[in-house]
Amino acid sequence: MTRTKTVLISGGAGFIGTRLAKRIVGDYKVVLLDNLHPQVHANNAWPIDSPAEAVQLFGDVTEAAVWNAAISEHRPDVIVHLAAETGTGQSLTESYRHASVNVTGTARMLDALSASGHRPQAIVLASSRAVYGEGQWATASGELYYAAPRGEKQLVSGEWEPVGPDGEEGRSVAHNATSVEPRPTNVYAATKLAQEHILSSWCGSMNVPLRILRLQNVYGAGQALENSYTGVLTYFARQAIAGEPINVYEGGGIVRDFVHVDDVVSALSAALALPAAVGFCLVDIGSGSAGTLLDYAKELAQVAGSPAPEISERFRLGDVRAAYADIAPAQALLGYEPEVSFRDGVVGLLEWARIGAETA
């Protein structure tokens, strides 16, 4: 196949970026831009499985000169914007860093496009389910409401469930960008929503098609093991292979939707190939199912042959109680169908964590 189109992936040395590059490098000319952030890349090197055919650009997305050079030299047909600071809890104490990379980094990209006069055929943004905050809930009678953020005081007293307008417990509603409003509860989430707004404003005015994918919790082999700020399943996997019981926060009842990185890459690949006639696309990407962290920890421990998980009353500020996606819009727009079962994904994750532990 002739590779006529160029895809630039910012954050292209990261967990998702590397997998995406590997998947599409046969179909596109791929350019990777990354500053090999030390929190993600402890050895300060490009991942060994980053495809050799891809062009590797070392640079920081907050620097105008980096984007100017990347865009004027490669004139990408599509930009997949993945570079980001991603620490949920960390973003509450290092707000500037998160805002600088996620917000300024995005704006720098747009200014470089404006300065060069180059208009890509599409921009794809990996946004996050974090934008929903505690999200939408329903009372027993079906009345919908937005749960207030759970502050430190509430969490310290072990009151995990968000409460309704009359102080009652409700049931969570699946994230769906067409019906659930974003209401971020940590700075990382606020910066991801800011990225969405900045890109929608610019792309709308410049007639550049925009695809925003709000990803649920992504997991799989390749996720940074040494980065303690992201990836709860890698944290679980590390404990399991050390033969320790997995420590599950908030009484075990946090609800999550773990989507395998290969499925996310399928969604991103479909998004970057959408026809230009689709000017705007905003969808939620998940596995199609959800469960409590305790259930997932039990399954992971069973596969690993490690002791039964332990429920803990610990918590992390900025975490939300329940998050899972309604993937129907992504199925309709992108033909998205998640294929990797949790059990298969966990086998690969444990293998990756074992290799990491042996080589550490």
Residue 20 touching ligand NAD (CB under 6 A): no
Binding mask 42-81 for ligand NAD (x = CB under 6 A): ------------------xxx-------------------
Residue 319 touching ligand NAD (CB under 6 A): no
28 belongs to the catalytic site: no
Binding mask 232-251 for ligand NAD (x = CB under 6 A): --------------------
Choose which of 16, 103, 155, 190 interacts with ligand NAD (CB under 6 A). Answer: 16
Helix (H), strand (E) at residue 125: strand 122-128
Residue 128 touching ligand NAD (CB under 6 A): yes
Residue 323 touching ligand NAD (CB under 6 A): no
Query: Running DSSP on this structure, what letter comes out for residue 2?
Result: -
Of 29-37, 176-184, 237-245, 323-331: span binding ligand NAD (CB under 6 A)? 29-37
CA 274 to CA 160: how far, in whole Å?
41
Choose which of 22, 29, 37, 260 interacts with ligand NAD (CB under 6 A). Answer: 37
Helix (H), strand (E) at residue 9: strand 6-10
Angle between helices 232-241 and 293-304 (to 10 degrees): 40
Choose which of 21, 31, 32, 40 interacts with ligand NAD (CB under 6 A). Answer: 40
Choose which of 9, 15, 260, 327 interacts with ligand NAD (CB under 6 A). Answer: 15
Q: How far is CA 228 from the centre of its chain?
A: 15
* 27: Cβ contacts below 8 Å, ≥ 6 apart: 1, 3
Indicate the residue among 29 and 214 with the shorter CB distance to ligand NAD: 214
Burial 45-71 (b: 16+ CB within 10 A, else e): ebbeebbeebebbebbbbeeebbbebb
Residue 324 CB, nearest approach to ligand NAD (Å): 13
| Token pair listed for 259 | 């989507």
Choose which of 84, 187, 225, 300 interacts with ligand NAD (CB under 6 A). Answer: 84
Residue 202 CB, nearest approach to ligand NAD (Å): 17
Residue 287 touching ligand NAD (CB under 6 A): no
287 neighbors 342 (Cβ within 8 angstroms)? yes
Indicate the residue among 13 and 267 with the shorter CB distance to ligand NAD: 13
Query: Running DSSP on this structure, what letter comes out for residue 8?
Result: E
The SS3 call for residue 24 is helix
* 99: Cβ contacts below 8 Å, ≥ 6 apart: 187, 191, 194
Choose which of 25, 80, 193, 218 interacts with ligand NAD (CB under 6 A). Answer: 218
CA–CA distance from 97 to each of 105, 191, 318, 347 (Å)? 11, 11, 17, 34
Of 13-21, 155-163, 174-182, 326-334: span binding ligand NAD (CB under 6 A)? 13-21
Choose which of 199, 215, 294, 325 interacts with ligand NAD (CB under 6 A). Answer: 215
Annotated catalytic residue, options 188, 219, 324, 336: 188
The residue count for binding ligand NAD (CB under 6 A) is 29
Binding mask 171-200 for ligand NAD (x = CB under 6 A): ---------------------x--------
Residue 224 touching ligand NAD (CB under 6 A): yes
170 neighbors 162 (Cβ within 8 angstroms)? yes
CA–CA distance from 128 to each of 74, 190, 238, 305, 353 (Å)? 28, 10, 24, 32, 24
Residue 83 touching ligand NAD (CB under 6 A): yes
CA–CA distance from 161 to each of 155, 168, 186, 243 (Å)? 9, 9, 18, 31
Of 32-40, 87-95, 286-294, 339-347: span binding ligand NAD (CB under 6 A)? 32-40
β-pairing, 144-146 with 310-311? unpaired
What amino acid positions are annotated as catalytic residues? Answer: 188
List residues near ligand NAD by CB under 6 A.
11, 13-17, 34-37, 40-41, 60-62, 82-86, 101, 105, 126, 128, 192, 215, 217-218, 224
